[in-house]
Amino acid sequence: MEIEQELNVIVKDIATASSYIVDKGWGEANAGNLSYNLSDHGEFYDYADFAEYPFCLPVVFPHLKNSILLITVTGSRMKEISEKPYDNFGIIKINSTGESYAVIYYRNSSQHFKPSSEFISHLLIHDYLMKNKSDKRAVLHTHPDEIIALTNLPDFQGEDKLRKHLYRVLPELEILLPRGIGYVPSLNPGCDELGYATVQVITEKNVVIWERHGAVAVGKDVISCLDLIEVVNKAARILLLTQGRCL
């Protein structure tokens, strides 16, 4: 299909990132999800001529009016995304008021497309990015073991505590994430509150840790999101290996 040819580079990055996540064990079962704002790619508007936008959104996303977004399907597995990416995401267009959306593309059937359980969190983040004229277009959420382990320990829970310890054991973080790392206390996975809490702390930090859940990153593409999560998780691993003795 023509739309698949136009997505080639983006989907190659998605498959590469998903394969890495699987190899690291960060995508157990159907854990993790990703999205990509395609609105800069004008060719996708050729597929978006709808008279109706049948799927209502629970809130209005004023900065995503007429936006086109790729998002993984609910229940999709990173191992399946890495092997058959086109079967595990859909592309939607949000209407001119930001209140509803229509499906532009879903290989299986637009009638059965159901976005990731963290769909609203992704939309809230993309809305925030557009509002602030960010050049970041990708959002990646995954479950790195060491980040989750660290945020189960009271001594490391909270944004200030994490910055103090993580940046001390891995100074490279000052270069890659000079404005720090956001932190959201424990909330139920998939709840809308997770998205609202994330946009309150993300500012220009690009990575937010979800306590006992994992991490979410924003970047120009999915690979750059993965790079940021990888380096934060490396710092978490070093901290756990040293048991804080170097502090």
pLDDT class of 1 with cuts at 50, 70, 90: low
3-state secondary structure of 181: coil
What pLDDT is recorded for position 42?
81
Is residue 170 very low, low, confident or very high in pLDDT (cuts 50, 70, 90)?
very high
Half-sphere exposure of residue 96, counting CA atoms within 13 Å on the CB side?
4
| Other residues' Cβ atoms within 10 Å of the Cβ of residue 117 | 15
For 24-83, write each residue's pLDDT tens digit: 999 999 999 999 999 998 888 887 777 789 999 999 999 999 999 999 999 999 999 999
Percent of the chain with pLDDT over 90: 86
pLDDT class for 96, splitting at 50, 70, 90?
Answer: very high
Residues 6+ apart with CB under 8 A from 194: 118, 121, 184, 187, 188, 210
Who has greater pLDDT, 185 or 247? 185
Give the count of beta carbons closer than 10 Å to the beta carbon of residue 102: 17
Angle at 31 between CA 112 and CA 62, to 5 degrees: 60
Cβ contacts of 193 within 8 Å, gap of 6 or more: 187
Q: Which residue carries 């999800």 as its tokens? A: 33
Beta strand residue intervals within the chain, DSSP E: 33-37, 55-56, 68-72, 89-94, 100-105, 138-142, 182-184, 207-210, 214-219
Q: Which CATH number fits domain 2-242: 3.90.1720.10, 3.40.225.10, 3.30.1520.10, 3.30.2080.10?
A: 3.40.225.10
Please tell me the predicted confidence (pLDDT) of residue 43. Answer: 82
Instruction: For residue range 114-156, list pLDDT tens digits in order.
Output: 999 999 999 999 999 999 999 999 999 999 999 999 999 999 9
Q: How many CB atoms lie within 10 A of CB 167?
A: 17
Rounded Cα distance, 8 and 16, in Å? 12
Mean pLDDT value across the chain: 93
pTM, full prediction: 0.95
Please tell me the predicted confidence (pLDDT) of residue 52: 85
- The whole-number pLDDT of residue 245 equals 61
